[in-house]
């Protein structure tokens, strides 16, 4: 398990003017576009030039995405020689992937949790959280029996659980963002996300049944 800590100094040499540059996408000196360098560990946050936190300013995220999309637009590179257009395309792909991941709370959480803990073990993914097990199996029974009335009662209970779960995410995310023990916070977040996944799946199962 590798904890890839946020690197502040990824100095590279500009391919065009040979100047060392610290900004990732465009050279500090000649402003020519740099290679994305597929396979290196540039994080989604670095691509979007945002601080690496779970709680993010969504307006700022959107703003950064649109600004960079404009700067990387293929039209801007039609008159430039190889390899600039190709580099722009690579950055655009990386930018889109970064934005899609970070704008979604669950994906963003998973991304940072994996960064600190590595990929989730299969066994942990499959385990139903103990405090939800009873409700989960009861819902499954009711679903298979096709009684919608008790399911509707269950739904409001589970909706409450969902609200609590989302409030809990905020607490854990703050713990994670502020440190000092990111590993511990990441472990709590991983359990939390797994639990919420079951709550969500119960809700959508019930939803499908009562609206069909
Ligand atoms: Zn340069």
Cα–Cα distance, 75 to 85 (Å, whole number): 9
Residue 174 belongs to what domain range? 127-211
**Looking at 116, 138, 163, which one is the last position of a domain?**
116
Number of neighbouring beta carbons within 10 Å of residue 138: 14
CB 108 within 8 A of CB 57: no
Residues 49 and 105 in one domain: yes
Grade residue 124 by pLDDT with cuts at 50, 70 and 90. low
Residues 131 and 76 in one domain: no
Distance 6 CA to ligand 1 centre (A): 24
Q: What is the CATH number of the domain that holds 63?
A: 1.10.287.110
Distance 82 CA to ligand 1 centre (A): 15
Tens of pLDDT, residue by residue over 57-116, are 999 999 999 999 999 998 999 899 999 999 999 999 999 999 999 999 999 999 999 999
Q: Is the pLDDT of residue 8 over 50?
A: no
Residues 78 and 136 in one domain: no
Residues 162 and 87 in one domain: no
Q: What is the pTM of this model?
A: 0.85
Judge whether 13 lies within some domain: no
Judge whether 65 lies within some domain: yes
């Amino acid at each position: 398990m590798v904890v890839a800590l946020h690197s502040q100094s990824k100095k590279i040499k500009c391919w065009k003017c040979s100047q060392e540059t610290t900004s990732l996408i465009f050279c500090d000196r000649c402003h020519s576009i740099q290679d994305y360098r597929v396979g290196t560990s540039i994080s989604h946050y670095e691509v979007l030039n945002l601080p690496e936190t779970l709680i993010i300013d969504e307006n700022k995220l959107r703003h950064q995405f649109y600004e960079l999309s404009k700067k990387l637009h293929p039209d801007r590179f039609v008159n430039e020689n190889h390899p600039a257009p190709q580099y722009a395309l690579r950055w655009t792909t990386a930018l889109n992937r970064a934005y899609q991941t970070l704008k979604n709370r669950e994906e963003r959480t998973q991304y940072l949790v994996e960064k600190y803990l590595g990929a989730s073990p299969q066994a942990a993914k499959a385990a139903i959280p103990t405090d939800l097990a009873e409700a989960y199996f009861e819902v499954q029974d009711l679903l298979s029996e096709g009684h919608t009335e008790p399911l509707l009662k269950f739904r409001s209970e589970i909706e409450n659980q969902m609200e609590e779960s989302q409030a809990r995410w905020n607490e854990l995310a703050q713990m994670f963002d502020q440190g000092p023990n990111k590993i511990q916070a990441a472990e709590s977040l991983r359990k939390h996300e797994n639990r919420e996944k079951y709550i969500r799946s119960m809700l959508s199962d019930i939803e499908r049944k009562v609206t069909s």
